[in-house]
Amino acid sequence: MSANSHYYRFLYAIVAIAVTLLGARAASAGAEPDGRPNILLVLIDDAGFADFPYFQDGRQRMPNLDRLCDEGLRFTQFYVNSPICSPSRAAFVTGQYAIRWGITSYIDASDDNARRGMRDWLEPSAPSLARILHEAGYATAHFGKWHLGGGRDIVAPLIGEYGFDESLTQFEGMGDRILPLLDAGSGRPPVKFSLGVASERLGHGKVRWVERSQETSEFVKPAIKFMERAAAAGKPFYVNVWPDDVHTPLHPPQHLRGDGSKRELYLGVLENMDRQLAELFDFIRNDPQLSRNTIIVVASDNGFEPGAGSAGPLRGSKGNLYEGGVREPLVVWGPGLLEKKAIGSTNDQTVISSIDVVASLLEIVGVELPANVQFDGEDLSAALTGVRPQQRTKPLCWVRPPDRPGQEGENLPDLAIRSGNWKLLTEYDGSHPQLYDIASDPNEQRDLAQQHPEMVQTLTSELLDWHRAATPTSAAATAPRQFANPIFEGADPWIIQHDGKYIACLSDGNRAVALHFSDDLTKLGPKHIVWEAPATGPYSREVWAPELHHLDDRWYIYVAADDGDNRNHLSYVLESKGDDPLGPYELRGPIYTGDDPAQKKDNRWAIDATVFEHHKNRLLIWSGWAADSDEQWLYIAPLKSPWELAGPRVRLCHNADHQWERVGELPDQRGLHEGPQILQHDGRTFIIYSASSSWQPTYKLGMLELQRDGEPLNPADWIKHDQPVFVGTEDTYGVGHASFVKSPDGAEDWIVYHAKRDRSDGWARAVFAHPFTWGADGRPCFGAPVKAGELLKLPSGTPAPAVKRGACDWPTFHSLEGWTYYGHHQMLKIDAGQLLLGVPPKDPANTYRSGEKAVLNDGRWSDLKVAATIRVLSGDRDAGILFRVQRPAVGFDAQQGYFAGIIPGSDRVILGATDGRHWRHIADAPADVEVGKDYRLEATARGDSITLALDGRQVLQATDAAFTRGSIGLRVVDSEAAFSNVSIEPLKRRPQRPKPLRAPAKSASSHRSLQPPGQRRTTLTAHANQPFALCAPSPLW
């Protein structure tokens, strides 16, 4: 191949991009330059091997890229890690095969990722070139497409968590981003791209909408500014510029659209992208310092999309493992860093991969590889800088994206390996081998497998060994597991860890104390009542804020109670008779919390008592009244026994030093302190207390800090922070009364707190949890309260459950073992073998409706038949079955999955879906349904076909592809119902010929689907409403 050929021109172009992109005014005014080379990585999206130079029509489409290619060192045997976006990009970031991180295809919506056994994002714990360079003193930034997590329905880690100081991305990443407006060229206003709409809903960054044809400029401008700032600070930089113009949807300016064909649109996009990169190229080229001390690497992330780009005579395209899918242009530019003889030349000898980029660049800039990371890539820096050709010591391996088996019946190979000049492609089991000599047959036209059986056997063995070693143990083990808040209903959460379990201690209906045991912080676990208040007496009512403590080989529960009159609230202690947290318990107290512990006269109002130790001294802290006035202060006293004070109480601080501590944050209202909790870290002690009014949205957390070597009983040794440390937001408010626990593996700190359900005065609340960190000053950083429905990763080290996939049945219910209930705790009851949901209690305590549901833990069925016997006891709304359900939380529509129900009030059977926040009606059908009668409701889901039957008669059939797998559950909506005889039967998927992937269909509105068009489709055959109408109950939870 000549340097002026079709393929090399492609390379030239890329070099050009890189060159200009990498130049930054290193010699700008300011600090003395660091001297270490700058790096710019330009990654073009979906460009084929033969795309960037002059096209067959003879028109020079990209003069700026071509110029850079002419000035660089070009490689013709460069391979990307995968023929599709996300895994290819992961290799450039990590220097490892992306399959090691559970990424084998493009990252899509969560359901589709789960179906393909993929992660929802690249784990931030993965090695990162940016992080390595950042830790070595580089300024780091990413501008452009990310596609390693974030978008569709997934809130993923911010790009900054991978080591970048600054980032700006598009709809396939988190953080600040620009989103595309699509101009159809019809004279009508541009429309928002559907995936951009989905991204905007996720939040987590500032969003701007820009014309699709101007996106590259919007990435180039901040890249230039970032490089200017780095140069002014005297710091070397590493910058990614990853434009996505070449990926569909293809929207060049109107004058570059040619005849409107896909190919012409593609060529127009290339030309337009090149023009927008010119500003960046000129910026770099005109700076003498940068041009001498910058290395630029330019490549494409994978093969071309059929109908748009081209790989010349190379076989294959995007999505498959033939050369046209994985062989890409690579250009390295750096006049001051390359061997002079190499500039303008082509390297046809070195086989190099994207996994080699990390190790090679680190060697070039003089930064050592982390010793604790095993990289798949090799150091080929001598080849990249033109010193000499090099060869890898290990072969290259690939795995086909699992969602790209082939089109129109074609069966594409699953795995591939290149060793020397040999390339082998096989199925996962090593069958159907194809063997090619790439040196003599780069277009893969002559299969030599039969002529060289020994080579086939050797390479097959090596390839299968690699695939087994690189593939994570299981999809369940590697897929990031998520949960949604709120995790349960209630208030004043107290959670501790003991013997590998979380134990939640909660008030039950203000009349009892309940313990819940779970190995998952986000699941409450079955209820165990360990103490019930008597029918009458001084501690028979208003049982508040119990806390479980293990002291001196016994268990103690500190709890406040009264006789029904809040003025008589006192603190009591329950003592276990043995070392079993389930008791039995004996009541001790009340604790004397007045001012005369010797005579114990005039005991004073006290709630929220907690115990802690300081230098082997045990102390009690609580919220109490000074006298008989309703004004709460924080008190501390030493303990003689778990229920007796050893000295007088001491008031820790004033309760109204700041207006934010007052009721309603009003200057004329009293101060209020309660819910004190001890937080100790690295030898320091903090009291995190609740302030303002628990019944209002102004509730929040303040902090007292004990000075080093301070005395806890001396108020002067406690420093009050003048600002609250945790306050509500527009979405989550009335936050307070927190407790603090570690993740199961001890690697993370978590805050568990309650928040109000609505902004009106009252105590309807639910419990939230999220991780927190520690600042450089050694103080806790709690961040902001999370939104209801926001997805978070499970606490680190949460045990992987034994997934249920087989047949199950519950003829009767005697407990909720194996299930988790989401709803007000007083609206769940098990009676006579039936599970009762939504049934109000006789003595309600702050009850509210929230679409009560019980969800089976750890179920994972795709195709199934689920049935239950349902009797609506009261109400005219829904009662029914959840299936393919994931990520449940407290709230009407706070789960992802399908719901099939009966509605006596309208004599209907209904089918719908919820996305964690909204209800989407799919279909309904008439049915004779009455209150007080048993009905057998059955839902059958096979692929995207869903059928509902009532008492054995099919009543509804619909097609919907929103959710593909999950667990099952039982649910009511503003009604009361009894459930029994629940059964699950897994079904086998009917064989189906693979279908070509289709371009996304246009959405009728931004509310058309729970996920972007093209990911879900719905067809109705029974009384369909307007498709995808959202009607979320208010409030969400």
Give per-residue burial for 268-296: e unless 16+ CB within 10 Å, then b.
bbbbbbbbbbbebbebbbebebbbebbbb
Cβ count near 638 (within 10 Å):
18
Q: Tell me, what's the pLDDT at 612?
A: 96
> Residue 361 corresponds to which tokens in the numbers above?
């660049």
Residue with tokens 């974030």: 150
> Residue 531 corresponds to which tokens in the numbers above?
């103490």
Give 901-955 pLDDT, tens digit per residue: 999 989 999 999 998 888 999 999 999 999 999 999 999 999 889 999 999 999 9
Helix (H), strand (E), coil (C) string for 912-931: EEEECCCEEEEEEEECCCCC
Active site residue 951: no
Which of 21, 242, 221, 41 shows the shortest CA–CA distance to 133?
A: 41
Q: Tell me, what's the pLDDT at 15?
A: 42
Burial class (CB in 10 A: 0-12, 13-18, 19+), 906: middle
Q: Tell me, what's the pLDDT at 599?
A: 83
Which of 92, 242, 278, 88 shows the shortest CA–CA distance to 167?
A: 242
Which of 901, 840, 912 shows the shortest CA–CA distance to 872?
A: 901
| Bridge partners of residue 79, in order along the sequence | 327, 353
Residue 439 CA to residue 388 CA, distance in Å, equals 20
Degrees, nearest 5: CA angle 554-487-202: 145
Angle between helices 6-22 and 63-70 (to 10 degrees): 90
Give per-residue burial for 355-368: e unless 16+ CB within 10 Å, then b.
bbbbbbbbbbbebe
Q: What are the extents of the domains in the chain?
A: 6-27+35-368, 413-478, 482-793, 808-1020
Helix (H, G, I), strand (E, B) or coil at 247: coil
Q: Which residues of the chain have pLDDT under 50?
A: 1-30, 54-56, 58, 473-479, 991-1037
- Tell me the pairing of strands 422-426 and 191-192: unpaired
Residue 831 CA to residue 821 CA, distance in Å, equals 16
Residue 944 CA to residue 115 CA, distance in Å, equals 13
What's the one-letter identity of residue 370?
P
**What are the Cα distances from residue 477, in Å, to 91, 560, 803?**
21, 43, 11
> Residue 351 corresponds to which tokens in the numbers above?
């086989």
Residue by residue, DSSP assigns 147-179 as -SB-BTTB----GGGGT-SEEEB-TTSSSSEEE
Helix (H, G, I), strand (E, B) or coil at 98: helix
| Bridge partners of residue 207, in order along the sequence | 177
Q: Which residues contact 175 (CB under 8 A, 6 or more apart)?
A: 150, 158, 159, 160, 167, 168, 169, 204, 205
Q: Tell me, what's the pLDDT at 408?
A: 52
Residue 265 CA to residue 260 CA, distance in Å, equals 6
Q: Which of 108, 228, 287, 492 is catalytic?
A: 492
Give per-residue burial for 921-930: e unless 16+ CB within 10 Å, then b.
bbbbbebebe
Residue 641 CA to residue 39 CA, distance in Å, equals 65
Question: HSE on the CB side for 981, CA within 13 Å?
Answer: 10
Sign of CA dihedral 653, 657, 660, 664: positive
Do residues 501 and 519 lie in contact, with contact meaning Cβ atoms separated by under 8 Å? yes
> Residue 452 corresponds to which tokens in the numbers above?
């060289």
Burial class (CB in 10 A: 0-12, 13-18, 19+), 846: middle
Helix (H, G, I), strand (E, B) or coil at 363: helix
Residue 1016 CA to residue 368 CA, distance in Å, equals 46
Residue 68 CA to residue 63 CA, distance in Å, equals 9
Residue with tokens 């929207």: 251
What's the one-letter identity of residue 739?
S
Helix (H, G, I), strand (E, B) or coil at 1016: strand
* Superfamily holding 482-793: Glycosyl hydrolase domain; family 43 (2.115.10.20)
Q: Which of 218, 379, 661, 674 is catalytic?
A: 674
Which of 77, 46, 102 shows the shortest CA–CA distance to 418?
A: 77
- Residue 822 host element (H or E): strand 819-822
DSSP 403: T
Do residues 320 and 60 lie in contact, with contact meaning Cβ atoms separated by under 8 Å? no
> Residue 621 corresponds to which tokens in the numbers above?
């802290």
6-27+35-368 maps to which CATH number? 3.40.720.10
Give me the count of residues in the chain. 1037
Residue with tokens 């978008």: 151
Q: Which residues contact 622 (CB under 8 A, 6 or more apart)?
A: 571, 593, 606, 607, 608, 609, 610, 634, 635, 676
Q: Which residues contact 234 (CB under 8 A, 6 or more apart)?
A: 30, 31, 32, 33, 34
Residue with tokens 């050893």: 646
Residue with tokens 């303008």: 344
> Residue 381 corresponds to which tokens in the numbers above?
């820096």
Cβ count near 698 (within 10 Å):
22
- Strands (E) across 80-236 are located at 139-144, 166-168, 177-182, 191-192, 207-211
Residue 506 CA to residue 491 CA, distance in Å, equals 8
> Residue 187 corresponds to which tokens in the numbers above?
């004279």
Architecture of the structural domain at 808-1020: Sandwich (2.60)
Degrees, nearest 5: CA angle 511-512-516: 140
Active site residue 492: yes
| Bridge partners of residue 986, in order along the sequence | 864
Architecture of the structural domain at 413-478: 2-Layer Sandwich (3.30)
- Tell me the pairing of strands 38-44 and 294-300: parallel
Q: Tell me, what's the pLDDT at 800?
A: 80
Do residues 954 and 947 lie in contact, with contact meaning Cβ atoms separated by under 8 Å? yes
